[in-house]
Structure 1
Amino acid sequence: MRASLSDVPVSFISARVSTRLVAAFLALGLAGCQSVDLSRNDLAAGLSVQSKAPAFQVGNGEIVPVRAGSAIVVDADSGKVLFGDDPDGLRHPASLSKLLTLYLLFEAIEAKRVTLDTDLVVSTHAASRPPSKLGLRPGSTIKVRDAMYALAVKSANDVATVVAENLADGSEEAFARRMNMTAREIGMRRSNFVTPSGLPDDLQISTARDMAVLALQIRKRFPGFVPLFSTESFDYAGRHYVSTNKLLGRVPGVDGMKTGFVNASGFNLVASARRNGRGVIVVVIGGQTGRARDMRVEQLIDTYLGPAT
């Protein structure tokens, strides 16, 4: 049985980890990372999908491989695992991390710490996050309701930082600690979050199983917010944004949830689907292309829910 990352002694951490990352690892017990969802405009801005980071050793001999496949299919009603392909293998979640950021935002709304109309202040740090982003300006504000759509539909990295800083007294690091604490509470045993967005970080790690656990918990605890993940597009500040989840509106029964990409992870997707009274959560991590990832998810949906009629 593989040891949990929370049990990994510091002496096993790769020497390639910087002093800052070691300190974060010690302080958080397990830290996280972010991801990028790339549009054609983002690529034009200079983000390359060609480079590949080396495999990264995080501890106890465990390696986070580059663009390695991992998948799981879970019954959305019972939680029973129907299929697994290295579901507990460590991977970089990329923007799948934003599902947990949204979970914590939903908690804040439920606890009445914020409302849908609360104005979230944009810091200089948040505005400087790389694409995908809304392009928010320092000192401006964005309402919670718009932030939710920006995260779920556009996968905006600047908005992820805005949410984190406003919920954790201006500190992404404090928000990451909340992410890791919450992850443990809901049963995500092999995940570590450093940032709220999933931008590249060696210590931003998770598994297909943990992402399925998170998806199930969102649907169970916050059913009122589940329709957010089926939104195909939204408008903000005069611009129209289309969902990064290309299965929405194309594959019958698909009703959410979230995409992710960084060079080291490949193309990731958590998808929920329902046909003929049955539902599944499908997680695919490590697609070589977005198209290959989507085809894999669609094939798994068809296998476990039956072909679309």
Structure 2
Amino acid sequence: MDADSHAVLFEKNADELVAPASMAKTMTAEIVFNELKNGRLNMDNEFTVSENAWRKGGAGSGGSAMFARVNTPIRLEDLLRGLIVQSGNDAAIAIAEGIAGTEENFARMMNERARQIGLTKSTFRNATGYGDPDQKVTVRDLAKLALHIIETYPDYYKIFGEREFTWNKIRQQNRNPLLSMEIGADGLKTGNIDESGYGLIGSAVQNGQRLIVVVNGLKTAKDRANESRKLLDWGFRAFEARQLFAENQVVGEAQVFGGDRRSVPLVSKKPIRVLVNRGDSERVSARIVYNGPLKAPIQKGTEVARIRVDRGETQALEMPLYADEDVQVGTLSQRALDGLLEFSTGWVRKAFTSVVDRI
């Protein structure tokens, strides 16, 4: 995925539900970042490592750990590095219990927050990524999560790029293999359990362009590293940007019911660009999709529709569209005419999945 345009360059089984393994810790980190951003936490807050966190996630559990001692208070800043750099299960559980009381309560927070930021298909059951039959995500959702973190928390995101962290006199290297490849990588997270195979959420920047890659289900750590790099190298090399619409350019219009006008123009607050194969004349089509017709009144600047761009058979981009003008409630006669049209033609129902094609 191209971070600037949100264009998808390549996908395979992107919406298949899979086990996230430790990539779930990226969602755990998002909860912490959001709490920090909203002032409900600060980096100097201390959470105590419970016996539960120590037994389930500590050194004796057999999984990755930051080697925190039981009943020891630890600053949130250190727990975050233990979570992100060392992939510590003990850190994840300590954070979950410190914020929500129990890991189960924290998982509910994860799911609520996931829906708020647009992860529509993923379900979390714990803060660590330990196997659970009900804990499933899609790689598309993981890419959206990575993009959200990069865009929303640029200062906290830098932790994902730290190469090592020492805690309890034990130095551990970041498990992300992309960080040592000199390809501009600066995050995010690996994962591996029996149910998932080897997975990775990664991001890299070259010549001012950022790409995000997500893979899962690889057989070995080497395969995970190699395939992730191949995808990034290909993405940087093989594509160029094509602008479809400029910022605040009218993209199309949406029908309005009960207003002083029958339609409202739609614009994007950002340029609408899609990446296409260099030198290729591949067909690019765009559709405006909305639930409508829209009901008056409508305020200028309100998100009322989305534009979906396809590159060949691949959905390459989806972005919000906003009303470019105010629409007031229409006169009694205007509303009566709309009602008559609905009665005679059913145009309201027909427009409920209105799609306008753009090439």
**TM-score, normalised with respect to structure 1:** 0.74
Task: Give the one of 81, 84, 88 matched to 2:11.
Answer: 84
Distance 2:69 2:181 in 1: 35
Structure of greater Rg: 2
> Post-superposition shift, 1:290?
0.7
Provide runs of 4+ in structure 1 moved above 4 Å.
none
Shift, 1:108, TM fit: 1.4
Structure 2 residue 162 is matched with structure 1 residue 231: yes
Q: Which runs of 5 or more residues in structure 1 are unaligned?
A: 1-73
The residue that corresponds to 2:283 in the other structure is none
Shift of residue 93 of structure 1?
0.4
Structure with more strand by fraction? 2
**Displacement after TM superposition at 1:128 (Å):** 0.8
Q: Note if contact 2:86-2:173 (Cα within 8 Å) is conserved in structure 1.
A: yes
1:133 aligns with 2:65: yes
Secondary structure in 2 aligned to 1:154? Answer: coil
What fraction of aligned residue pairs are identical, expressed as a percent? 37
Task: Indicate the RMSD between aligned Cα atoms, in angstroms.
Answer: 1.1
Q: Does the aligned pair in 1 maintain the 2:68–2:168 contact within 8 Å?
A: no
Paired with 1:289 and 1:78, the residues of 2 have a C-alpha distance of 32
Alignment of 1:116 with 2:51, yes or no, is no
1:72-96: per-residue Cα shift (whole Å, max 9, x none)? xx11111111110110011000000
- What is the one-letter code of the residue matched to 1:116? M
* Aligned residues of 1:251 and 1:298 also touching (Cα < 8 A): no
| Structure 1 segment 61-76 matched on structure 2, within 5 A | 74-76=1-3
Aligned to 1:160: 92
Distance 1:247 1:213 in 2: 19
* Aligned counterparts of 1:306 and 1:116: Cα–Cα separation in 2: 40
Instruction: Quote the Cα distance in structure 1 between the aligned partners of 2:71 and 2:195.
Output: 33
* Aligned pair partner of 1:285 in 210, 213, 216: 216
**Is residue 302 of structure 1 aligned with residue 233 of structure 2?**
yes
TM-score normalized by structure 2?
0.64
Is 1:221–2:148 an aligned residue pair? no
* Equivalent in the alignment of 1:146: 78
Q: Is the 8 A contact 2:67 2:167 kept in 1?
A: no
- Inter-partner Cα distance in structure 2 for 1:226 and 1:138: 28
Letter in 2 for 1:113: R
Q: Once the 2 structures are TM-superposed, how far is the Cα of residue 237 of structure 1 from its aligned partner?
A: 2.2
1:216-274, Cα deviation, whole Å (9 max, x unpaired): 11011111112111111011222211001122122411111100010010000000011
For structure 2, the residue ranges without an aligned partner over 5 or more in a row are 239-359
Q: Does 1:101 align with 2:28?
A: yes
Distance 2:79 2:213 in 1: 25
Q: Per the alignment, in what secondary structure is the counterpart of residue 204 of structure 1? A: coil
Higher RCO, Cα 8 Å, sep 6+: 1
